[in-house]
Structure formats: C-alpha cells, structure tokens
A and B are shown apart, each in its own frame.
Chain A
Amino acid sequence: MYALMDEIRESTVDMRTVFCNVLLSLARENKDICLLDADLMGAMGTKPFLKEFPERTFDCGIQEANMFGVAAGLSVTGKIPFAHTFAVFASRRALDQIYLSCAYAGQNVKIIGSDCGIHAALNGGTHMAIDDMGIFRAVPEMTVIEPTDNAMLEALLPQVAAVYGCFYLRLVRRTTPDVYMPGSEFTIGKANILKEGEAATIIANGYCVSQALLAEKRLKAEGISVGVIDCFTLKPLDERAIIQAAQKTGNIITVENHNTKNGLGSAVAEVLCEHSPARLSRLGFIDRFGEVGKRDELAGAMGINADAIYSAVKKSLE
C-alpha cells in the first residue's frame, strides 16, 4: 500500500543517497550483490559502498561497454551486479553490450542510468537522456522502471535485487519532489491510480507525477475532475489501468521527462489504439534535443511542468 504526501515538496535527501543506503543494506544481507561504475561513483554518491565492500565494488574506469560486459560475466557466475553510469551512456554507448551480453544472454544485470532528462540540468544536452526509456523498452525481457521519488526507490530496490533478470532503473542523482509517504509499497508492473476523475486522465512517470498532481489540484479547484496515474513501470506496462482510464474519461494526457517518441506517450498510444481508442495528448520532449538549464526551467521550456499539464487538460476539454 502507498499513501500520498499531504503536500508536494522538494525532497531534502538526494535520490543517490537513498540508492546507496538501500543498496548497502541489501548487500549486507546478500553477498552476491556487486556494484560497478564507470568513473561516476563520486557523481552517484556510491563511495560509501566502496568503503564497506571494496572487494565487491568495481569502478571500471571510463569504459561503459566493458563494464556491462563484465557485469554480464559476473552474473554468469551467480553474482547480482548493479552497474551504473549516466543514462545517456548506458542507453547509447553500451546498448549493444546490454542487449546481447546481458539481456539476450539471459543474465541478471541491474542497469542503473542516472541524470535522466531535465535532471541532467547544467550538464546540458550532451548528457540529457530523453530516449533511454524508449531504447530499453525495445529490449525483450527487460523490465523498465522510473522510480517516482525516494520512497518508491527505497521500496523497489529490494524487489529489483530479488527478481532475476535484467532491469533498467532510471534514477535522479539529486533531489526530486516527494510524492509518496515513506514506507509506501509498490508492485512492479502495476500502475498507481493516484486520483480518480471524470474529465481526463493524466498518465505520468518520474518527475512529471508531481507536476500532474499539482495540475490536478488546480483543476479541481476550478471544478474540473481529472484522474492521475503514476505509470512508474514502463515495461511491463499496466495495460488494464490505461484501458480503464480510457473507458472512463475517453481523454488521456501523457506527460514524461523524455522524448514523446518511444516513451510513455508512445506506449500508452499503442494500448489505446489496440484496445480502447480515446483522445490522446502527449507532453514531453517533442522530437528535440535536450539543452542546458536548471531543472525546473527546463521543465517549463519542454512543457512538462504543472502549468503545461494544466493547459493541456484545459485544451483537451475545449
């Protein structure tokens, strides 16, 4: 069971801190858990893991292709490797290794991609992964997850470690808005129906869930009731939740911190077309590259913040 925070506020804790702490506690219980990185341990805040488990930590240096291959080999011997790099490099530079040595080979590799989309902020367009979810969604047998906030990451990480198979986890390094109460529980593959509504349903993931909830509040104050679904598992997709929303409101708005091509918007469109056609508006990066800026400025510029969602819902009702 999960519960929403009474009010959405920026977290006071970096997501990377939660990642490292939870992984540490898992590693204390399970000697097979290993951590790999490609010279971004400092950036990802995982030095405490290195300190406690030096023999199970492999900072491979700046060689992402080799790192995911080594992770696959470790998995062959029964280890559970978590391999981190920025999402851009995991999805683009090492895709062939992740596809073949990890996924096709049936291994148990946990791919951690950080600094997704607007969270890359001042690193700019070169470092802004807005295609990673779409890329990994296309890899058979890969589970693709974007934890919405710290509470969700804390709840999901043990499941990711416990379930055999390749997972892609799209993480934030710094802070992100807290949406869920600490101690909330989540089921991989099951979307969270956060609000029920009549006029439209907003389907969001990642940072955009907080924005959807903020937009919903404003719309509600104006007497417009909209539903909000947190679709944190992109694959396997909770098709039932999407179909039910389409049947209920017939008006779907997707919003993602990602290119609308191949991401959540595409995935939802596929379900709607096949099962339950409905009006669909997709918010996200519209076939454009990322750019440099502060996170919330970028959210505005890309049209994925609460204001943009509010406007999109209004427009859909015209």
Chain B
Amino acid sequence: MLKNNEKIQLDLFAAAIRCETLKSIAAIGIGHIGGSLSIAELLAVLYQRVMDIDPHDPKKEDRDYFVCSKGHAGPAVYSTLALRGYFPLQELSTLNQLGTSLPSHCDMRKTVGIDMTTGSLGQGASAACGIALGNRLKWLDNYTFALFGDGELQEGQIWESMMFSAHHHLNHLICFVDKNNLQIDGTTDEICSLGDLKAKFQAFGIFVQEIDGHDTREIYLAILTAKQKNCPSVIILNTIKGRGVSIFENKPSNHNAEVSKEILELGLNEQAEIIKELECAANVCANG
C-alpha cells in the first residue's frame, strides 16, 4: 500500500508529466495530446515507483522494460523520461521538429530510454512477449510492461500475442489497456465495440484487473497483485482521454489536436491548481 504522501508524490509526478507534454506539443502547435494525457498516472507509477531502471544506464541488462504499443503516446513517455533524467528537459521542445530525437511515435533508435519502436498498432504486444521471453531465457527476473490503447485492441495481433503469452506462461509480462473509450473516428462502441473485455482477456488465459486508471494508488496495488500471479496480466485502466485539460477531456476531436499558446496557458493553469492542492495535502501529511 502507498502511504498518503507517497501517493501525493506520484500524483505530482503525473501533473508534471502533463505540463511537460502540453509544453512540448505546444512548441510545434499540434500533436497526440488526448491519448498522452490519459496515461500520465500510469507512467508516473511505473517510472517513479515500480520499474527497476537507471536513467544513467538506460540499457542496463536486467532493467524492467516498457513497451508503449500505442506508440502515438510518445510525447507523454518522452516527458516522463526527461523528468526522470534520461535527457535534458529542454529537448522536449524539439518534439517532431526535423532532425529531433523525439519523433511522434516511439523509436528506440532515436530516443534514449525507449525500449521498443512502435507506431503500427498491435505490434508492441508481440514485441513485449518477445522481450519477456528473451529475458526469461537469460534467467533474469525483470518485468516487461506494455501499454495498449483500447482502440488498438481491434487489431488481431493483440489477440495473437495474448494467446502466445498465456501459452508460454509469461508471468513477468504485465500489460495495460488505456480504456479511454475513444479512438480516432469516435467511441470504440460506435466504431467496433470491444464487448466484455475482461471476459475476453480471461478467456485467453490472462489474469485481469480493472481499475481507475487515474488513481495512482490503485495502479500501484494492481501491479503488485499482478506480480503475484503465475500467468500474464492485463490491467484495464478506466481513463479519460485528454484528462487534466478541460477543453480536451473526453472530446472525440482530441486525438491529434492543436495546442495553441492559449490552450497551453489554460492547461498549465489547470494543472497548477491541481499541483497547489497536492502540495497543500503534502504539507498536511508532513505536519501530521
């Protein structure tokens, strides 16, 4: 269990991820904002608390791996990596500029700290299986984490990989679904409904949990629970696409949207409010 002040630190980290993501996308004016904002809490818990990683030794052999299969959420991952010290924060403003090391979709050859190249939806799932398998072959007991979008689950490759992961008992593979209910052309229910996701994953032999994806305490606990199981895990994160910036929240148009100076200011102000409240709460914790 996380103590209150530990949870507050993670929430503050999530808010920082949102601020940096907004700023980096605003620097070029447009980007994949919705699906980046929805995963800030997950990234905070993974990179600040759960993952065995060393920003000074990003290729450490026995590190935990993170595969962002919804590769378009790169901006949120880059913000997380920069905040953790993989590279200077200033680099975030080069997002998607010609020659940048921070391209729209995650690219392991370009960005320090990115464990797998993604961008064609569905593919990260198989790569994550391969990484988990390869590490097990090396007798390592590290973990591989993977993140799928809910729209991404419409890809057949996801289900191939789930069948594979269960067959090979990849118990050090923990996958997340960013269930924000939106894809590009509408809600998943309008486009091609996912049905009973929990039952579907369970039927494939996966241990499934469904939680509030914006609650860092729940995320942390779910990961601890997943680690106790001897089969692969899926943690369904109920989230809001565009979370944390009111004009984006739950808007179908927020997938790849303009982030103007005005929107940036609005977003940063909204996050500043959240940060202020969290800091107050932190003081309360500290002063008993």
Contacts and interface: CB of A to CB of B under 8 A. Distances in A.
B68 to A, nearest CB: 13
A34 B130 CA distance: 11
A66 B137 contact: no
Nearest to B128: A73
Interface stretch (A52-60, A151-159, A161-169): A52-60
B133 A74 contact: yes
B195 interface: no
Contacts of A106: 108-109, 117
Tell me the dominant secondary structure on chain A's binding face: helix
Given A66-B157, A105-B109, A76 B123 contact: no
Interface residues on A, range: 20 to 34
Given A63-B164, A100-B117, A69 B133 contact: no
B127 A101 contact: yes
Interface string A81-123: 1000000000000001100110011100000000000000000
A105 B135 contact: no
B160 A65 contact: yes
A77 B135 contact: yes
Chain B: interface secondary structure?
Answer: helix
Contact of B130 (A69, A96, A104): A69
B120 A100 contact: yes
A20 B71 CA distance: 37
Nearest to A81: B130
Contact of A101 (B117, B137, B138): B117
A70 B117 contact: no
Interface in B114-157: 115-120, 122-123, 125-135, 137-138, 156-157
A61 B119 contact: no
Nearest to A99: B120
A72 interface: yes
B127 A58 contact: no
Interface residues of B, number: 33
B163 interface: yes
Contacts of B119: 100
Interface string B199-238: 0000000000000000000000000000000000000000
A73 B117 contact: no
A141 to B, nearest CB: 11
A47 to B, nearest CB: 19
B134 A79 contact: yes
Contacts of B161: 66, 69-70
A97 B157 CA distance: 10
A97 B123 contact: yes
A70 B137 contact: no
A48 interface: no
B134 A69 contact: no
Nearest to A56: B137
B133 A105 contact: no
B157 A73 contact: no
A68 B65 CA distance: 19
Contact of B116 (A56, A66, A76): A76
A90 to B, nearest CB: 15
A75 interface: yes
A98 to B, nearest CB: 10
Contacts of A60: 164
A97 B125 CA distance: 11
A71 interface: yes
A70 B157 contact: no
A140 interface: no
B160 A66 contact: yes
A183 interface: no
A194 B167 CA distance: 50
Contacts of B135: 77
Contacts of B134: 73-79
A8 B134 CA distance: 44
Q: Pick from A55, A68, A73 the residue with the most CB of B within 10 Å.
A: A73
Given A73-B126, A76-B65, A105-B127, 5 more contacts: A72-B126, A75-B134, A104-B117, A106-B109, A106-B117
24 contacts: A56-B137, A61-B167, A63-B163, A65-B122, A65-B126, A65-B157, A66-B126, A66-B161, A66-B164, A68-B126, A69-B127, A69-B130, A72-B126, A73-B127, A73-B130, A73-B133, A76-B116, A76-B130, A78-B138, A81-B130, A101-B116, A101-B120, A104-B117, A106-B117
Q: Give the top 3 A-B pairs by smallest Cβ distance, nearest first.
A: A73-B130, A69-B126, A77-B134
Interface of A: 34, 55-56, 58, 60-61, 63, 65-79, 81, 96-97, 100-101, 104-106
